Amino acid sequence: MSNLGLRTIQIDNQYLIWEELEASRKQEIINAPPKVLEDRYSMRKLLLNKPGVFSLDFKNQENRFTAYLVNDTKAQKLFIDGKDQHTVEAEKLNIDRDSAKIAVHGLTYDMGGKGLAKRLTNAGFPTTEEEGIRIQKAFEISHPELMGFKRYLHRATEYESLLFHRKVQLKDKRDKMNWIIQGNCSELIIKALQYLYDYCLDRVRVLPHFHDELVLECLKCKTHSNLPCEPILKIKKELEGLYPFYWPQTKMKVFELGIK
């Protein structure tokens, strides 16, 4: 595994170096539909198919952080009770779960109803502008704390991150919500990587990470099972303990890591 770099890709079970591909082949890969990219060119799939390699995934980190930050009590209770947020949102918005997942992310980041209709249609869920506007209004009514936070942001010019206390100048409206959620969530990954490199390199090899997933190869597994091993489970617990965020009036951590 140690010779697999960021620029290595798998095509039909062959390992190829990106820089060595002809320009026409690179363009073919770039233009490939998402499903083809996932099936044929996925570095993530290549790594996770190897015994002894696991991912630690920050489950629903953006949704969890949003619920925590704006004190959305209904969303918080969903996570505390272990319910699937997108299934519950789908029922409230009268749409299917996959559409609800797209809607929650888009509308949280100030996407409008017309933009949501276009996003859903492009994702394979044909939606009229009128339906997109209906979904937007229903979402806003069911999330008053989030809407109140957004109104506060319209006047805000500076924000300090919760984990590293970075102070950032806020510009246009969309950038404000985007930076606050994704900027704070990126600090979770940075904090985890710092810990892994400082304290865990005798136990795991840190492989390329993907958005909110950390990919690790266990150095302690003698059998290299595909089941989560004790060293990986221990590191999972250590990483979850890095973050001083709890759901209000509970001892439950806001951020959890799943293992794949």
Got the DSSP string for 118-182? HHHHHTT----HHHHHHHHHHHHHH-HHHHHHHHHHHH--EEE-TTT--EEE--SHHHHHHIIII
Q: Please give the DSSP secondary-structure letter assigned to residue 50.
A: S
Mention every residue, 6+ apart, whose C-beta is less than 8 A from residue 206.
193, 196, 197, 200, 214, 215, 216
pLDDT at 207: 85
CATH superfamily of 62-184: 5' to 3' exonuclease, C-terminal subdomain (1.10.150.20)
- Average the pLDDT over 118-145 and give the result: 93
Please choose, from the candidates 110, 104, 109, the residue with its C-alpha nearest in 3D space to the C-alpha of residue 135. 104
Q: Rounded to an integer, what distance in angstroms lies between the CA atom of residue 104 and that of residue 119?
A: 12
- The lowest-confidence range among 52-61, 130-139, 191-200 is 52-61
DSSP 54: E
Lowest mean pLDDT among 65-69, 114-118, 170-174, 193-197: 170-174
Domain residue spans in the chain?
Answer: 1-46, 62-184
Cα(107)–Cα(178) distance, integer angstroms: 11
